[in-house]
Structure 1
């Protein structure tokens, strides 16, 4: 690890010597490496490196900002520092797909090499290119097992107000917290209620466990977790 740190410092030092600063002081991107940038002061360049997994946002030379790659257009700056992976994290920071190839509705948010598992909102899959959750046909990931054995019924499904539901939902046959969304009435997708809630097939919504017959004791003895998406780095 010490060798890697010293090597990275040496690379930054050499890069800083080779970079020609603009006349105006500020923060400027390296022309080749997206996570390498320079602090220019009176024509003198000091090389700096974003944390592993983040890249330099070069829109404003007055701002020193490293962000996730999906928020930055690196253009021709294709190179990156050597990754520093840890268990569950391909790089130290960022949003990454779940290691289980069939868990498309979950993702890992890594901060300083520590992975945190998070679920997508019901019916959505994680898209690593955008670091967001989106519809299955937009993400285009093969996750057939999440809806294996489930088909959508023929015809319209009426909601509590008597109107046809464009994306009707149905309870999971074995798990009170889970349900299925039939997108456009024909394409089944897996969904899950937030921790502490269960699916209520009478209201087509997630509800308190004690309000759903047969699911009253679903969370008994289980620690509740916060199922909220983290803010982007």
Structure 2
């Protein structure tokens, strides 16, 4: 009798555990990545500065934001809609993490236990010798003009006849890099770099995912 009760209980548990809803793995699909979907809202088409970076900016096309980055040593100039030297751009980068409370921590460093480090009583100060007279610095001649930086990656204006020929205003891909492109304005070429992981798509004149662009450099 006890054997039949145990067998019935085992059968009941097996049926209960067997009621598992099967999962169709084919239904697990991931969204195909879009062109550029940052946390930025496009109110109109055009070029807009990145509120989190002086070096970045967005190009809005049909309410879709495309993120771009200027070359090293340059900022986006919202007045000219291209990259420019920092001295010509009124932009202040947002503060780094730590805030106001993080300032001066090196001067007020605490020990590992959170207590202020113990300091010994100061001894009597020794006589400090009088400082020697410091000679006045010699006048240096003012530099003639401001030299342009030697960084060729910086997207400053390039004359026609360089990497690309600006026959008309518009966008041209960089023949040496899939990630870069040029914007021609009044016969002058300005170089831009797409954000990490993206390349320039000449069909939409914006940065896009590499699998959507036919570029071999």
TM-score normalized by the length of structure 1: 0.28
Larger radius of gyration: 2
TM-score normalised by structure 2 residue count: 0.29
